[in-house]
Amino acid sequence: MKTYMPVMLDCWGRVCVVVGGGRVAERKVGELLACSAQVKVVSPEVTPVLRRHHEQGELEWIPRGYEAGDLAGAFMAHAAADDPEVNRRVAEEARARGILANVTDRPEAGNFIHPSVLRRGRLVIAVSASGAGPYAASAIRKRLEQEFGTEYETYLDCLYEIRKTVKEQVCDPAARQKLLKKAGGPEMLESLRQDGFGLWSAERIRQWIHDNQEE
């Protein structure tokens, strides 16, 4: 069985080329735009959603078929045309350039696959069936959607601020570690729940540090 390495890629501002402009390309572009990639779509035709992204200046659309050289300067490529021969050529160019490639009709020709993704602000839950079947990954993601509600977005925003303040204000490594461990634990989620998931003020954070340092 093939096992994959899960990673969180920083695509911000990096050129990511998507060859094809259909339903599958649209899904992959959605994920790329969510992480602020610089998206370039090469396809004679695109879906209305992709066209709208283009008109709003959110991506570059090259309205023609793929040509060798289209991947120049790219960080990542997606081969999502409905022509296997085109996808094969895209995969080949990506391999020759040593860049990341997702090949939608023949995953083994590329070097990464997409998980099913649940986002709650900073919380990202990615589910993969490692190629066994996208419906299974999607169904598991939908179950997790029930458990991890929108409150997790505020929870992690708060945690981010608390961690920043602790790192600025608490010099002793042992005390710092104790606080950070506590902040990441289940009690913090409960405290925030009791406060109605409002973002804590700087004063409230200082108070929390003070209360929990003295214990």
Ligand X SMILES: C[C@@]1(CC(=O)O)C2=NC(=C\c3[nH]c(c(CCC(=O)O)c3CC(=O)O)Cc3[nH]c(c(CC(=O)O)c3CCC(=O)O)/C=C3\N/C(=C\2)[C@@H](CCC(=O)O)[C@]3(C)CC(=O)O)/[C@H]1CCC(=O)O
Ligand Y SMILES: NC(=O)c1ccc[n+]([C@@H]2O[C@H](COP(=O)([O-])OP(=O)(O)OC[C@H]3O[C@@H](n4cnc5c(N)ncnc54)[C@H](O)[C@@H]3O)[C@@H](O)[C@H]2O)c1
Q: Which is nearer to ligand X, 59 or 162 (CB)?
A: 59
Segment interacting with ligand X (CB under 6 A) among 57-65, 102-110, 162-170, 193-201: 102-110
Interface with ligand Y (CB under 6 A), residue from 92, 105, 151, 153 = 105
Interface with ligand X (CB under 6 A), residue from 16, 39, 46, 113 = 113
Q: Which is nearer to ligand X, 141 or 176 (CB)?
A: 141
The amino acid at residue 156 is L
Among residues 115, 142, 108, the alpha carbon closest in space to that of 130 is found at 115
Quick count: other Cβ atoms within 10 Å of Cβ 201? Answer: 10
**Both structure tokens of 83:** 């022509």
Q: Cα(25)–Cα(113) distance, rounded to whole angstroms?
A: 13
Chosen from ligand X, ligand Y, none, partner binding at 129 (C-beta under 5 to 8 Å by type)? ligand X
CA–CA distances in Å: residue 154 to residues 25, 123, 145, 172, 189: 31, 10, 16, 28, 10
Q: Cα(27)–Cα(33) distance, rounded to whole angstroms?
A: 10
> Does 131 contact ligand X by CB under 6 A?
yes
Q: Which is nearer to ligand Y, 81 or 192 (CB)?
A: 81
Chosen from ligand Y, ligand X, none, partner binding at 22 (C-beta under 5 to 8 Å by type)? ligand Y
Q: Which is nearer to ligand Y, 80 or 166 (CB)?
A: 80
Site for ligand Y in 48-77 (CB under 6 A): 65-66
Which of left, alpha, beta for 106 (phi over 0: left; psi -120 to 50: alpha)? beta
Contact footprint for ligand Y (CB under 6 A): 19-25, 42-46, 65-66, 80-83, 86, 104-105, 134
